[in-house]
Amino acid sequence: MKHPLESLMTVAGILLLAFLSCLLLPAPSLGLVLAQKLVAIFHLMDLNQFYTLLFCLWFLLLGVLEYLLLRFIWRRWFSLAD
């Protein structure tokens, strides 16, 4: 039987790993011309808003990847459940 809070722990783990990614991993940096073009495409107010959204999405993506990788490693080699 699965634990009733497993889905909540999944989301919490992804967010925690995203916050750790903010501290440990480099963020993407775009050139000024490309950044201004993307601001125009997405109808954003300025570059600050664009980079805030970009960094949030980047770190959440890294958090999801780290979570999935750690979950795979845990279930493959360290889990005692069959």
Ranges of the chain whose pLDDT falls below 50:
none
Q: What is the pLDDT of residue 47?
A: 93
Q: Which two tokens stand for residue 49?
A: 């808003």
Q: What is the pLDDT of residue 81?
A: 64
Q: What whole-number distance in Å separates Cα of residue 52 and Cα of residue 54?
A: 5
- Asked whether residue 31 is assigned to any structural domain, the reply reads yes
Among the listed residues 38, 70, 66, the one whose alpha carbon sits nearest the alpha carbon of residue 52: 38
Q: Calculate the alpha carbon distances from 38 to 32, 48, 58 in Å.
A: 10, 12, 15
- Asked whether residue 43 is assigned to any structural domain, the reply reads yes
* Range of the structural domain that residue 15 is part of: 6-78
- The domain tally of the chain equals 1
- Asked whether residue 1 is assigned to any structural domain, the reply reads no
Q: What is the pLDDT of residue 82?
A: 58
Q: What whole-number distance in Å separates Cα of residue 26 and Cα of residue 59?
A: 10
Full-model pTM: 0.68
Q: What is the pLDDT of residue 29?
A: 83
- Asked whether residue 46 is assigned to any structural domain, the reply reads yes
